[in-house]
Amino acid sequence: MRIAETVTFGGSGLDRAAELRGAPGRMAALLAAPEARVLPIWRGKPLFEGDSAGWLAPGHGVLAAATGAPLFLGLDEGAPRFALDLSEWEPPAGERPEPGVFFDPTEQHHPDLPADWRFAELRGLMARLSARDAELAATAKALIGWHRSHRFCSACGVESEVAEAGWQRRCPACGASHFPRTDPVVIMLVTRGDKTLIGRSPGWPEGMYSCLAGFVEPGETIEAAVRREVFEEAGVTVGRVRYLASQPWPYPSSLMFGCLGEAESEAITLDPAELEDARWITRGEMAEVFAGRHPTIRRPRNGAIAGFLLYHWVADRLE
Kindly report the pTM of this predicted structure: 0.94
Return the closest-CA partner of residue 234 out of 278, 195, 189: 278
Quick: pLDDT tens for 275-302.
Answer: 999 999 999 999 999 999 999 999 998 9
54: left (phi over 0), alpha (psi -120 to 50) or beta: beta
User: pLDDT digits over 1-52, tens only?
Assistant: 678 888 999 879 999 999 999 999 999 999 999 999 999 999 999 999 999 9
What pairing do the DSSP bridges indicate for beta strands 183-192 and 254-263? parallel
Q: What is the mean pLDDT of residues 64-90?
A: 96
**Amino acid occupying residue 60:** H
Q: Is the peptide bond before 205 cis (omega within 30 degrees of 0)?
A: no
User: Tens digits of per-residue pLDDT, 212-222?
Assistant: 999 999 999 99
Q: Tell whether the model's pLDDT for residue 94 goes beyond 90.
A: no
Burial of 269 (0-12, 13-18, 19+ CB in 10 A): exposed
